[in-house]
Structure 1
Amino acid sequence: MRTLLLASLMGATALPALAEEVNVYSHRQPELLKPLTDAFTEATGITVNTAYVDKGMVERLKAEGDRSPADLIMTVDVARLGEVKDAGVTQPVESEALNVVPEALRDADRNWFGLTTRARIVYASKERVAEGEVTTYEDLADPKWKGRICTRPFTHDYNVALTAAHLAHHGPEETKAWLEGIKANLAKQPEGGDRDQVKAIWAGECDISLGNTYYMGQMLADDEQKDWAESVDIVFPVFDGGGTHVNVSGVALAAASPNKDAALKLIEFLVGDEAQKIYAETNHEFPVSDHVERSELVTSWGEFTPDAMSLSEISALRPEALTLIEEVNFDG
């Protein structure tokens, strides 16, 4: 009996350990994350499985409930990060390593953390817009821009977040008037994405547009879009009494994470120097870590002062911001 028991124990210890893995639900295309996940796997031996969930992230996680295989949620925009938190499909994370993320760029309850930042800037025609002609977001409602502005729909998350930031600075009455002013200045009905607006400037359909900084890097790397990019300057507007609006790509730990320890290792890796350098070089984004420099291309776009408004506060105002956008029928 003793011999059989010893043999059984020895056999159990001889079994190979199960390989660690992390399952990621991502709003971002897997190819954008692959350089990061490959580096993490090489450093730790932990496999990363990425599922691209373009739409219905919250609905999917709620439907899966406690059986969900998701460990991490990776997405862009504070609105989407706030959405998954508010839906109760995330959980708070305590880790000193994550304190490298500035307080303004992480959830006050530590349910999500920014991984990179991007500024919501103005693309301005090199030929038709003078230097210093636009300096603030409030300027966009000035009648001097009548018939000169292009934008993607304002109901898009990027513009909802910008509107929520304006709301945080100025309140609902001024924000509604601001939205009405910009709408009156549009050259055409909102449509397409940020790069489409730069194409419209290149084609002479408008003179300025709103966009995220990293699109400049993407356009310059594209043979067709390079001409669009070279037709505009990047302008970093500010809020009156504030700075330039920044948004984030971020990560949250799923509420039902089956591989919590491995998932935490990946979050900590993503805010570390190696991953932050990869973000800076390949995605043309600003690192959240002060330890990592911007890429040469991103540095060439110039310096700016990020708005100090907490993204948690901005996220909380997004429903009211969307209501105001719909009240003025901005996209109609």
Structure 2
Amino acid sequence: MGVAQAADPVLNLYSARHYPTDEALYSQFTQATGIKINRVDADDAGILARLKAEGSASPADVILLVDASRLWRAEIDGLFQPVKSKVLEDAIPANLRAKVADNGGTPWFGLSTRARVVVYDPATVSAADVDSYEKLADPKLKGKLCIRSGSHPYNLSLFGAMTEHLGPAKTEVWLKGLVDNMARSPKGGDTDQIKGVASGECGVAVTNSYYLARLMRSTKPEDQAVVSKVKVVFPNQSSWGTHVNIAGGAVARHAKNQDNAVKFLEYLVSPSAQKHFADGNNEWPVTKGVQFDNPALQAMSGGSFKRELVPISAVGMNQIKVQQMLDRVGFK
């Protein structure tokens, strides 16, 4: 029985990507390879907890997570197995994948990117006042900043990147400045921050780019009303570039279908899959030269923008240090 099961072309996927548009990706992979995907959906934290609880009995072959700090944490906890793939190494820039492990393999790979952008109310705030992350802590924005919880992985990753750029001491002063400038205590998700700017509750907010793109592409009148009242800035274009986070993938440590797992990750960096990340879920491809048709991404960035080159692995490593800083400055 065990031999027959091992020969079945299956892939057990644990995914934190809860995007309906990904269904097409999975079905295309099955059509192309004959490999059936069995999927378990949960958030990043839920998937990591499940992997730890299952241990060596885990059926998981591939893990998809949506944040650099969680990928780093899973790597440190020994939940991935480093893999060697020339396809993945050639397709994905070095700063968007884990450092090479002792066995010469790579523990995890970035598969798509999302920018941490600034949305502002042009009636009360000028673009020049919010064109860098550092300026968000300027006292002239006092009472105008809306942002989700500092402990959310998207913010932990941004703050981890700022620690690389500024050093811990200056980053902590900057975080205190953000707290001083808040229009209200952190609450809600990124879409709520955008809506807060549109409603006049805030003058400026921080959001992942795909939340704004969703509103831009929505046909709902209330979403279009929100979009009409805000403008977007890609910060730090004149210095180190805008912070980008990743959604990434890895082969599970106890994968039973390793070849299928690597084949799936390689499929996700193919031109068709990378185009799907852009057009289907408003993310930027990690591979160069992929042409996509997403009008919101084109309108938002003018087609391209300068991205920071801080290694995503370094961003992840800073998360514990960042959390301690957040506690000290009272950033909830």
Pairs within 5 Å for 1:180-329 = 180-222=176-218, 223=220, 224-238=222-236, 241-294=239-292, 295-302=294-301, 303-329=304-330
**How far has the Cα of 1:101 moved from its partner?**
0.4
SS in 2 for 1:209: strand
Task: Name 1:34's counterpart in structure 2.
Answer: 23
1:19, 1:233 → 2: CA distance?
51
Summarize the Cα distance change of 1:311–1:63 in structure 2 as closer, same or farther, 3 Å threshold: same
CA distance in 2, matches of 1:251, 1:90: 10
Corresponding position of 1:5: none
Q: CA deviation at 1:242?
A: 1.4
CA distance in 1, matches of 2:183, 2:35: 51
C-alpha distance after superposition, 1:218-267 (max 9, x if no partner): 12344132322222111001288411100000001100001111111100
Kindly provide the amino acid, as one letter, of the partner of residue 33 in structure 1: D
Distance across 2 between alignment mates of 1:105 and 1:18: 33
How far apart are residue 277 of structure 1 and its match?
0.9
The answer to whether the Cα contact below 8 Å between 1:30 and 1:50 also exists between their aligned partners in 2 is: no
Secondary structure of the residue aligned to 1:330 is coil
Relative to structure 1, the CA distance from residue 255 to residue 25 in structure 2 (aligned partners, 3 Å threshold; closer, same or farther) is same
Per the TM alignment, residue 159 of structure 1 is displaced from its structure 2 partner at its CA by 0.6
Q: In structure 2, do the counterparts of structure 1 residues 145 and 29 end up closer, same or farther at CA, with 3 Å as the change threshold?
A: same
**Offset of residue 16 of structure 1:** 11
Report the Cα offset of residue 17 of structure 1.
Answer: 9.8
In structure 2, stretches of 5+ residues that fail to align are 101-105
Q: Which residue of structure 2 aligns with residue 105 of structure 1?
A: 96
Aligned-partner SS, 2:167: helix
Q: Which residue of 2 aligns with 1:63?
A: 53
Q: Deviations over 1:35-76 (max 9, x none)?
A: 210111111111111101224322211221111100011010
RMSD after superposition: 1.7
Contact 2:237 2:305 in 1 (8 A): no
1:92–1:253 contact (8 Å) kept in structure 2: yes
CA contact (8 A) 2:115 2:244 kept: yes
Inter-partner Cα distance in structure 2 for 1:97 and 1:296: 29
Contact 1:138 1:239 in 2 (8 A): no
Provide the C-alpha distance between the structure 2 equivalents of 1:58 and 1:170, rounded to a whole number of angstroms.
31
Cα distance change, pair 126–248 in 1 and its aligned pair in 2 (3 A): same
Aligned length, in residue pairs: 317
Deviation of the 1:32 alpha carbon: 4.0
The corresponding residue for 2:103 is none
Unmatched runs of 5 consecutive residues or more in structure 1: 1-14
Q: Which moved more, 1:132-141 or 1:267-276?
A: 132-141
CA deviations on 1:64-93 (whole Å, 9 max, x unpaired) are: 111110001101010111111111010111
The question of whether the paired residues in 1 share the 8 Å contact of 2:237 and 2:306 is answered with no
State whether residues 30 and 52 of structure 1, in contact with CA within 8 Å, keep that contact through their aligned partners in structure 2. no
Residue of structure 2 in register with 1:8 after alignment: none
Does residue 169 (structure 1) correspond to residue 165 (structure 2)? The answer is yes
Deviates more, 1:296-305 or 1:242-251: 296-305
> Per-residue CA shift, 1:82-117, capped at 9, x if unaligned?
111111010111111002100010001211101111
Structure ID, larger Rg: 1
Q: Which deviations, in whole Å up to 9, do the C-alpha atoms of 1:106-147 show, x marking residues without a partner? A: 001211101111110101113222232321111011000001
Greater than 3 Å deviation, 4+ residue runs: 15-19
Q: Which moved more, 1:135-144 or 1:46-55?
A: 46-55
Secondary structure of 2:205's counterpart equals: strand
